[in-house]
Amino acid sequence: MKAAVWYGKKDIRIEEVPDKPIKGNEVKVKVAWAGICGSDLHEYQEGPVFIPTDANDPLTDEKAPLTMGHEFSGIVHEVGAKVTTAQVGDRVTVNPTLTYGDKREELDPYDGFSFIGLHGDGGFTTYANVPEDNVYQLPETLTLQDGALTEPTAVAVEAVKKADMQFGDKVAVFGAGPIGLLTAVAARAAGATDIIVLDLSDARLEKAKQLGATHVINSGEMDPIKTIGQIAPEGVDVAFEVAGVAPTFKQAIEVTKGLGKMMIVSIFAQPIEWNPIQLTNTGVNVDSTIAYTPTTFKQTVDLMGSGQLKLEGIITDHIQLENIVENGFEALTNDKSQAKILVELTGDSE
Amino acid sequence: MKAAVWYGKKDIRIEEVPDKPIKGNEVKVKVAWAGICGSDLHEYQEGPVFIPTDANDPLTDEKAPLTMGHEFSGIVHEVGAKVTTAQVGDRVTVNPTLTYGDKREELDPYDGFSFIGLHGDGGFTTYANVPEDNVYQLPETLTLQDGALTEPTAVAVEAVKKADMQFGDKVAVFGAGPIGLLTAVAARAAGATDIIVLDLSDARLEKAKQLGATHVINSGEMDPIKTIGQIAPEGVDVAFEVAGVAPTFKQAIEVTKGLGKMMIVSIFAQPIEWNPIQLTNTGVNVDSTIAYTPTTFKQTVDLMGSGQLKLEGIITDHIQLENIVENGFEALTNDKSQAKILVELTGDSE
């Protein structure tokens, strides 16, 4: 079967890989659709970031070269001997997070985690082997394309949950890439009133409006602090930092109300220069989130299934595996109007 | 009357100042004892930090030169026409914090605050005029010297309260200056089990032991991360950053358990270089505290009065006003074995 295999920075190859036998606790998913994630892009542009290259990953026992892709859906094609819940033919989405599982779920990822499709073979291929616990049935209301969106959406749902955002709160979202857009969607679904999205790209801000932002601010054209000050004179209740750079880190604290919450959702690639007295002066609490709990993943599937999380418009292109580098990784690098690009594997054929 | 008056950096003069008439809502306190605070020291070494020099402070309507001193106790000598609770002869301690008072008390300081003794005339003199709401009766169990310790102790109590430290928690305190020492005392009074205090000075660490630290670590001699890892393998529940520099900021996050709390108590004078991914990787929540609420100040007086906050040993010297520069500010600058130095004004004469 064909797969998109990461060999190194700027070196992703479409090549033939073996269809590996499943283990007793695994199911084999015939992949329908798989999204390209920002972390996939980082691996392409400047990797390895997460991908193990020297030693095998402790949870997957694999290392590069490996098949990428961790946002995917499909049909259960085969089940392992010990599998009790999944059945052949099930329409499923995959939670790609692997942990040691010996802490309570909120704490578990901080004890070490790996991702199917980053630390081990993933979904940019025809068949992917996944532990039974990592597949979730798709409700009838969701398509297989929707199923490829659950993973990044779960990141946004976790961020809103962990921020203790309250019904009626005002929020600001710094960064309108896919996770920023999904955070705005999640905040709206959780009942935020003012949802202010900031970015440097008008194309992305237009998308943010379509997805439910009540205000958009181009930070290159308008002063974020002053503009938010007009919308929320006391400051926003929660600011989500989804850009991962020093200016937005500081702005996100600055626009938050006294004793409010600044939630880091992004992955900072570089250190920043910053004076912690900004917290002392404002009382703002800084928290962060990474991935999601299994509970949040299930809630995300349910909230998408019930129509409360409305993602229409987030998918900006459908591409074929053969063209994943040019139409996927390069398109995401060069075209800011792209949000989520889905790779068609077996598509909606079943 | 004589006073210690701040004119500028390294320029504190003992000189005659007028005994100003009180306003209707004020009481005149005959000052018994006044402590020298770390922020006083900063004003001496590198000020002005808080002291207004150009325009009058909006809350005190005063500016430099002004009488310093914001940790003081004394006897009520005269009461204003509108004063209803304080009486002449009352033994009192002073909460020096002035706010606009138009928010709930937790939020109030972030809307702007000023300090009696930093933003306006304070307690390094014979008589200090203080709003009635800012004086608190001393219980019979507390001496006037104890009364000069309530203010810095309230800072520590607020830090422990805001950190949501739980009975039985393990804590680390980075920095064993007076506020670090008092934070250890407050953590012990709140029921922490392991109380690990870190500093570069053995003299300060010895003092920390006397005041209730269960473990002390000289960070210059032992690796803080490894050493705390032996005491608390999962990490401490709460780390208090009371040193205000980049290494302790990062260490305090590093030694905290997943999803634990890092509480900034210090005032950072300089920006730090730091990668916020440290929070993403650990799940540690970063919060900060400044000063205290009136409720916390009252609780601090009560907890000192009941003997739950035991401060024996924190006072390392008693000096006279005439010698405040040499025996106070210079001693604190040069002698790390000094913790809290009290200036005797009228002392225990009444």
| Claim to verify: residue A38 and residue A106 sit in the same structural domain | yes
d(CA A5, CA A67): 4
What's the pLDDT tens digit per position in B187-199? 999 999 999 999 9
- Asked whether A100 and A112 are in contact (CB, 8 A), the reply is yes
Residue A350 has pLDDT above 70, yes or no: no
| Claim to verify: residue A161 and residue A145 sit in the same structural domain | no
Q: Which of A272, A285, A288 sits opposite B283 (nearest CB)?
A: A288
**CATH code of residue A325:** 3.90.180.10
- Asked whether B321 and B302 are in contact (CB, 8 A), the reply is no
Confidence of residue A348 (pLDDT cuts 50, 70, 90): confident
| Claim to verify: residue B267 and residue B164 sit in the same structural domain | yes
Query: Average of pLDDT values for B293-309?
Result: 98
- Asked whether A252 and A268 are in contact (CB, 8 A), the reply is no
- Taking contacts as CB-CB distances below 8 angstroms, the residues of chain B near A286 are 279, 285-287
Q: Which of A288, A306, A327 marks a domain boundary? A: A288
d(CA B199, CA B208): 10
**What does each C-alpha distance from B127 to A214, A224, A277, B93 come to in angstroms?**
57, 48, 34, 13
In a 13 Å sphere around the CA of B346, the CA atoms on its Cβ side amount to 19
Instruction: Evaluate whether residue A186 is within a structural domain.
Output: yes
- Residue whose C-alpha is closest to residue B338's, from B166, B151, B177: B177
- Taking contacts as CB-CB distances below 8 angstroms, the residues of chain A near B274 are 271-272, 274
| Claim to verify: residue A42 and residue A72 sit in the same structural domain | yes
Residue B350 has pLDDT above 70, yes or no: no
The answer to whether B287 contacts A285, with C-beta atoms less than 8 Å apart, is yes
Query: Average of pLDDT values for A82-97?
Result: 98
The answer to whether B272 contacts A270, with C-beta atoms less than 8 Å apart, is no
| Claim to verify: residue A42 and residue A90 sit in the same structural domain | yes
Chain B nearest CA to A320, separation (Å): 33
Q: What is the pTM of this model?
A: 0.95
ipTM of the complex: 0.95
d(CA B43, CA B37): 10
- Taking contacts as CB-CB distances below 8 angstroms, the residues of chain A near B290 are 280-281, 283
Range(s) of the domain holding residue A257: 155-288
- Taking contacts as CB-CB distances below 8 angstroms, the residues of chain B near A279 are 264, 286-288
Q: Which two tokens stand for residue B148?
A: 């000069």
Instruction: State the pLDDT at residue B211.
Output: 96
Query: Average of pLDDT values for B288-300?
Result: 97
Residue B27 has pLDDT above 70, yes or no: yes
Q: Which of A103, A110, A274 sits opposite B282 (nearest CB)?
A: A110
| Claim to verify: residue A138 and residue A26 sit in the same structural domain | yes
What's the pLDDT tens digit per position in B82-102? 999 999 999 999 999 999 999
Q: At what angle do helices A150-162 and A178-189 cross, to 10 degrees?
A: 60
Residue B348 has pLDDT above 90, yes or no: no
Residues 6+ away with beta carbon under 8 Å from A125: A1, A2, A3, A4, A17, A31, A67, A69, A321, A345
Instruction: Evaluate whether residue A59 is within a structural domain.
Output: yes
Report the Cα A167 to chain-centroid distance in Å: 23
Compute the mean pLDDT over every residue in chain A, rounded to the nearest whole number. 97
Specify the residue for token string 């422990």: B160
| Claim to verify: residue A132 and residue A164 sit in the same structural domain | no
The answer to whether B274 contacts A277, with C-beta atoms less than 8 Å apart, is no
Best to test chain A binding among B104, B106, B110 (most A CBs inside 10 Å): B110
| Claim to verify: residue B168 and residue B114 sit in the same structural domain | no
| Claim to verify: residue A74 and residue A195 sit in the same structural domain | no
d(CA B133, CA B301): 15
Best to test chain B binding among A158, A259, A266 (most B CBs inside 10 Å): A259
Instruction: State the pLDDT at residue A232.
Output: 97
Confidence of residue A254 (pLDDT cuts 50, 70, 90): very high
| Three-class SS state of B91 | strand
Q: Which two tokens stand for residue B199?
A: 């500093």
Instruction: Evaluate whether residue A245 is within a structural domain.
Output: yes
259-298 in chain B: CB under 8 A from chain A: 259, 264, 267-268, 270-277, 279-283, 285-290
What's the pLDDT tens digit per position in A51-81? 999 999 999 999 999 999 999 999 999 999 9
The answer to whether A285 contacts B281, with C-beta atoms less than 8 Å apart, is no
Compute the mean pLDDT over every residue in chain B, rounded to the nearest whole number. 97
The answer to whether B268 contacts A281, with C-beta atoms less than 8 Å apart, is no
Instruction: Evaluate whether residue B304 is within a structural domain.
Output: no
Total structural domains within chain B: 2
Residue B127 has pLDDT above 60, yes or no: yes
Instruction: Evaluate whether residue B303 is within a structural domain.
Output: no
What's the pLDDT tens digit per position in A117-128? 999 999 999 999
d(CA A20, CA A66): 13
Best to test chain A binding among B100, B250, B287 (most A CBs inside 10 Å): B287
- Looking at chain B, the whole-number percentage of residues with pLDDT higher than 70 is 99
**Bridge partners, residue A66, by sequence:** A6
The answer to whether A264 contacts B276, with C-beta atoms less than 8 Å apart, is yes
Instruction: Evaluate whether residue A81 is within a structural domain.
Output: yes
Q: Which of B267, B270, B279 sits opposite A264 (nearest CB)?
A: B279
Instruction: Evaluate whether residue A30 is within a structural domain.
Output: yes
The answer to whether B259 contacts A106, with C-beta atoms less than 8 Å apart, is yes
The answer to whether B271 contacts A270, with C-beta atoms less than 8 Å apart, is no
**What does each C-alpha distance from B41 to A82, B202, B205, B208, B270 come to in angstroms?**
69, 21, 21, 21, 16
Instruction: Evaluate whether residue B238 is within a structural domain.
Output: yes
The CA R_g of chain A, rounded to the nearest whole Å, is 20
| Claim to verify: residue A220 and residue A318 sit in the same structural domain | no
Angle at B339 between CA B335 and CA B343, to 5 degrees: 95
| Three-class SS state of B130 | strand
| Claim to verify: residue A124 and residue A205 sit in the same structural domain | no
Q: Which two tokens stand for residue B286?
A: 């970063």
Q: Which two tokens stand for residue A22?
A: 């499943």
Best to test chain B binding among A253, A254, A280, A290 (most B CBs inside 10 Å): A280
| Three-class SS state of B209 | helix
Q: Which two tokens stand for residue B66?
A: 């002004």
**CATH code of residue B281:** 3.40.50.720
| Claim to verify: residue A9 and residue A143 sit in the same structural domain | yes
What's the pLDDT tens digit per position in B34-52? 999 999 999 999 999 999 9
- How do beta strands A97-99 and A127-131 pair? unpaired
